[in-house]
Amino acid sequence: MSSNDFADRLSIAVARHIGSPGTVHDLQRLTGGANKTTWSFDAIVDGARQPFILQLASTRVIDESNPVAAASPHLTAEEDARLMIAAVKANVPAPRVRAILEPADGLGAGYVTERVAGETLATRILREERYASARASMATQCGTILAAIHRIPLSEVPFLKLLEPAEHVAVQRMIADYHGFRLPALELGLRWATEHAPKKVRRTVVHGDFRAGNFIVGEDGIRCVLDWEIGQSGDPMQDLGWVCVKTWRFGGKKPVGGFGTREDLFAAYEKAGGYSVDPGHVRFWEAHGSVKWAIGCLSLGTRGVEENGIERCAIGRRIEEPLWDFLNLIEGRD
């Protein structure tokens, strides 16, 4: 498909789903990940120029015989969009979906959302002076937003895969085995997680990747929570732990995303109608998240030079960072 052809098809899709004439301006590819490609564009709709984001699912066929791909939760583009629609309805600042693409659009699977202005780069949000007052309120905001996410009725998103804590650990075990990783530090982490996985947990919607880097932030704080594609159902405390994993503090000193305290996060979560928080329970997920990211580093970094490139090589060498954090966490040295 030529780029003109692509823009023309997008215009027609915008006109069909959102409003006429749908003329597309300033179409730019932002990122191309393994699972999806993100485009930014403006379109003329009902006499006004409006900002949009287009997400297209990658056309790469997922290898179903690969047990790792089959076991990890991953939503289709349509499910991803339906989850965001349910989130917005529950007062979560998620992207507003304006169109779910159909085969007739000729663009592949994907969706169009409204584009929210702001910064996503965590290092800038943590360091730049103009975000100082945003930083002061973001842990509280995270608590309020998570309480809202965990209240989304499961009946509205029945496609979400249920993953119990023990199943999360089993998925990581499987990935480590699939790649043949046999490291004492990693085995320590996996066995600890197996032995400490909470048994009796609630079942709610879980975002799955709620962390700094997936927030659009303005001077007023978090404006939008992105990346819903590994949404799942399970233990809500998982999201509270993941946002505290040290890797997602991007060098910031404070435990919640580098910008806030656990006390602010938990208090806001409970106050906004979330479940009562047991810090030890959240700590399990923070420790589990560190082991999970260590395995992620290895999986990303050991695919060989052809597929890897220099950046992936560097990620492979980050495996000890989360394992070091894990050891400090379980020994109370964090």
What residue ranges in 219-274 does DSSP mark as E strands? 221-225, 232-234
Whichever of 229 and 325 has its CB closer to another protein, that residue is 325
Residues at the site binding another protein, with contacts judged by CB under 8 A: 182-188, 190-192, 195, 251, 310-311, 313-314, 317-318, 320-321, 323-324, 327, 331
191 vs 271 by CB, closer to another protein = 191
CB of residue 309 to another protein, shortest distance in Å: 8
Conformational region of residue 109, where left means phi above 0, alpha means psi within -120 to 50, and beta covers everything else: beta
Closer residue to another protein in complex, CB, 87/327: 327
- Indicate the residue among 114 and 321 with the shorter CB distance to another protein: 321
Taking the CA atoms of 226, 230, 235 and 240 in sequence, report the sign of the dihedral they define: negative
Beta carbon of residue 319, minimum distance to another protein (angstroms, whole number): 8
Q: Which residue has the tokens 């702001």?
A: 118
The least CB distance from residue 317 to another protein, in Å, is 4
Task: Write down the least CB distance from residue 327 to another protein, Å.
Answer: 6
Of 71 and 183, the one with the shorter C-beta distance to another protein is 183
| Whether the Cβ atoms of residue 12 and residue 22 lie closer than 8 Å to each other | yes
Contact 109, 56 (CB under 8 A): yes
Query: Closer to another protein at the Cβ: 177 or 219?
Result: 177
Supply the minimum distance, in Å, between the C-beta of residue 73 and another protein: 25
Looking at beta carbons only, is 48 or 305 nearer to another protein?
305
3-class state of residue 117 by DSSP? coil
Handedness of CA 100, 232, 300, 63 (dihedral sign): negative
Integer CA distances (angstroms), 136 to 125, 141, 204, in order: 11, 10, 28
Q: What is the DSSP string of 193-218?
A: HHHH--SS---EEE-S--STTSEEEE
CB of 207 to another protein, least distance (A): 27
3-state secondary structure of 297: helix
Q: Please give the Cα distance from 332 to 334 (Å, whole number).
A: 6
Query: What are the structure tokens assigned to 97, written together?
Result: 């979906």
Residue type, 199: K
Q: How far is the CB of 318 from another protein (least distance, A)?
A: 7
Nearer to another protein, 121 or 154 (CB): 121
Q: How far is the CB of 305 from another protein (least distance, A)?
A: 12
Phi, psi (rounded to 5 degrees) for 250: 45, 45
Q: Helix crossing, 279-301 with 184-196: angle to 10°?
A: 140
Cβ atoms 294, 207 nearer than 8 A: no
**Cα–Cα distance list, 14 to 112, 236, 254 (Å):** 8, 36, 43
